């Protein structure tokens, strides 16, 4: 499947954004929920790496896809990045995963608290 086909199948309600980047690093086009990721000010024809410092060193992809999960972007907001090489440029997809990360952290905190209580109640020995 081509990235363009994938974009046509995306649901605008999913809150995804995407960029298509030329091999020389210029932004060719962008779309999706750009505002959610503070991408709405990007300038087409300009270097993506100069506009988005966190992509420095990742582009061009040179044929190898890259997934970076649960990036803390700011104020406890998280995103996944999916970078896909295609013949018409490198595609960068942004996915908001703030809520699933928040839930996962709450679950981890709850498990840790239960384990601490068990240790405290057993006098420090979990295997009595």
Distance between CA 110 and CA 116 in Å, rounded? 10
Please name every residue paired with 79 in a beta bridge, in sequence order, or none if there are none.
71, 96
Per-residue pLDDT tens digits for 25-72: 999 999 999 999 999 999 999 999 999 998 999 999 989 999 999 998
Please name every residue paired with 21 in a beta bridge, in sequence order, or none if there are none.
27, 90
pTM greater than 0.85 (yes/no): no
Residue 88 tokens read as: 């018409």
Per-residue pLDDT tens digits for 92-113: 999 999 888 788 878 878 888 8
Phi, psi of 35 (to 5 degrees): -60, -40
Query: Would you call 81 helix, strand, or coil by DSSP?
Result: strand
């Amino acid at each position: 499947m081509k990235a363009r086909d994938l974009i046509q199948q995306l649901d605008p309600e999913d809150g995804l954004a995407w960029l298509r980047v030329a091999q020389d690093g210029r932004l060719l086009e962008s779309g999706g929920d750009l505002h959610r990721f503070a991408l709405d000010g990007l300038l087409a024809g300009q270097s993506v790496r100069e506009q988005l410092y966190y992509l420095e060193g990742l582009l061009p992809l040179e044929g190898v896809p890259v997934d970076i999960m649960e990036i803390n972007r700011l104020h406890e907001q998280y995103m996944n990045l999916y970078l896909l090489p295609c013949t018409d440029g490198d595609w960068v997809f942004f996915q908001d995963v703030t809520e699933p990360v928040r839930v996962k952290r709450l679950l981890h905190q709850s498990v840790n608290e239960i384990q601490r209580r068990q240790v405290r109640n057993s006098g420090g020995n979990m295997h009595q």
